[in-house]
Amino acid sequence: MSAITTKKIRLGFIGGGSRSMIGVAHKRAAQISGEFVLSGGVFSAEYAESLRYAQVEELDPAYIYSDVAQLISGELAKPESQRIELVSVLTPNALHFGAVSELLKAGFHIVCEKPITTTLEEAESLAQLMASSDQAFAVAHTYTGYPMVRQLRQMIQAGVIGQIQKIDAQYYQGWVNEVLHDEERRQSVWRLKPALAGPSCCFGDIGVHAFNLVEFTTGLRIQQVLAETDTFNSGNSLDVDGTALFKTECGVRGLIRASQIATGEENNLSIAIYGRLGALKWSHENPSQLIFLPSNAPRQILTPGHPYLAELATASSTLPPGHPEGLFDALGNIYFAVAQKISGRQYDPAAFPGIDEGVRGISFIDAVLRSNNQMQQWVKLK
């Protein structure tokens, strides 16, 4: 297999090899964007496994590495036109910081799974690296890639529901339930292990998405939280459930509810934002619908592909109304915007969540854990 010259951007993965769901999602999203070609990376902690995966994917072994350091030196040794430019970091949480910080220093663009680090110090250290850089850095808050979430944000900005009065966000899943009650399976899930997941399971994995959705859609910054979390089972050390009351800088109240023991729930991320003039509601259970509740008029259901949508929402779907697109397509929208940034094209700053959103997420997780540790007192986000 000889090298090809492509105007597509070469993409590498850290993690995301064959058995990884998240790897499949990122690979397909990058393809969907039409802007990237997956060239190689460190798919697995074991080099042999990475090579095997590369073979399946028909990748040039010259792009396959045993670790991040090797990838950096190997790629920098190549002519610029043949180099991996964007690296997607898809490992368990605890490995994000080391990989990302080295890759950033070496000049690579980054897509990083959330949470971007396991401590606030690490997150701020990444922010400092980014402060003087114009590299692309995106956090995989995939839900912000849905057209109707983007429309929600735009309608709030446009004042459609007036001043915000109350925010209620939920992320309920049930899949941890069966694991939690089965000691053997509990040992096999990295998200329940502090060494790999960091200090939080539920808020690190899903609560942080709900937090991001609140700040992304409203443009408000959460200033303080009062949170209770629960490990539920004595044999388990990380949170699998919890609620965080919050106040924003301008005094708007709200709450974020997260659970991984909500048996029977599939992936129920929902948000409701109540304003002076109306409300907007979105749920991942039907991501193509945005519900608008005006104070004094019939409810409306907005859907993708219509001329009545704002610009970014319009650009975020491909097919005519009634032809559903899904989670891969939403993440594809984020990859597309990252490509716009990398290639110096204009892009909407709302089109991918960046380092600030990454740090905010860690700051939120940190505050939630502190509040819970302090007997559910109000604490400020650092």
Which 83-122 residues touch a second copy, going by CB under 8 A?
none
| Burial of residue 305 (number of CB atoms within 10 Å: 0-12, 13-18, 19+) | middle
Q: Whose Cβ is closer to a second copy: residue 70's or residue 263's?
A: 263
Phi then psi for residue 360, to 5 deg, are -55, -40
Query: Which one, 45 or 319, has the nearer CB to a second copy?
Result: 319
Report strand pairing: 378-380 vs 253-259. unpaired
Interaction between residue 374 and a second copy (CB under 8 A): no
The residue within the footprint of a second copy, chosen from 45, 76, 250, 319 (CB under 8 A), is 319
Q: Which of 51, 120, 272, 315 binds a second copy (CB under 8 A)?
A: 272
Nearest to 153 by CA among 222, 214, 223: 214
The residue assigned the tokens 């995106």 is 138
* Alpha carbon distance 23, 29 (integer Å): 10
12 touches 39 (CB < 8 A): yes
Q: What is residue 41's three-state secondary structure? A: strand
From residue 149 to residue 178, the character string flagging contacts with a second copy as x (rule: CB under 8 A) and all else as - is: ------------x---xx-x---xxxx-xx
Among 89, 104, 226, 359, binds a second copy (CB under 8 A): 226
135/318 with CB nearer a second copy: 318
Residue 79 within binding range of a second copy, rule CB under 8 A: no
Based on the shown chain and the rule CB under 8 A, indicate whether residue 145 belongs to the binding site for a second copy: no
Give the range of 123-131, 185-193, 206-214, 237-245 binding a second copy by CB under 8 A.
Answer: 237-245
**Cβ 300 to a second copy shortest distance, Å:** 4
The H or E element spanning position 202 is: helix 202-202
| Per CB under 8 A, 256 contacts a second copy | no
Residue 291 CB, nearest approach to a second copy (Å): 9
Instruction: Kindly indicate which of the ranges 62-70, 78-86, 312-320, 337-345 contains the residues binding a second copy, using the contact rule CB under 8 A.
Output: 312-320
Nearest to 333 by CA among 356, 320, 352, 348: 352
Within 13 Å and on the Cβ side, how many CA atoms surround 300? 17
Indicate the residue among 105 and 299 with the shorter CB distance to a second copy.
299
Chain residues 174-213 in contact with a second copy, contact rule CB under 8 A: 174-175, 177-178, 181
* Omega cis (within 30) before 294: no
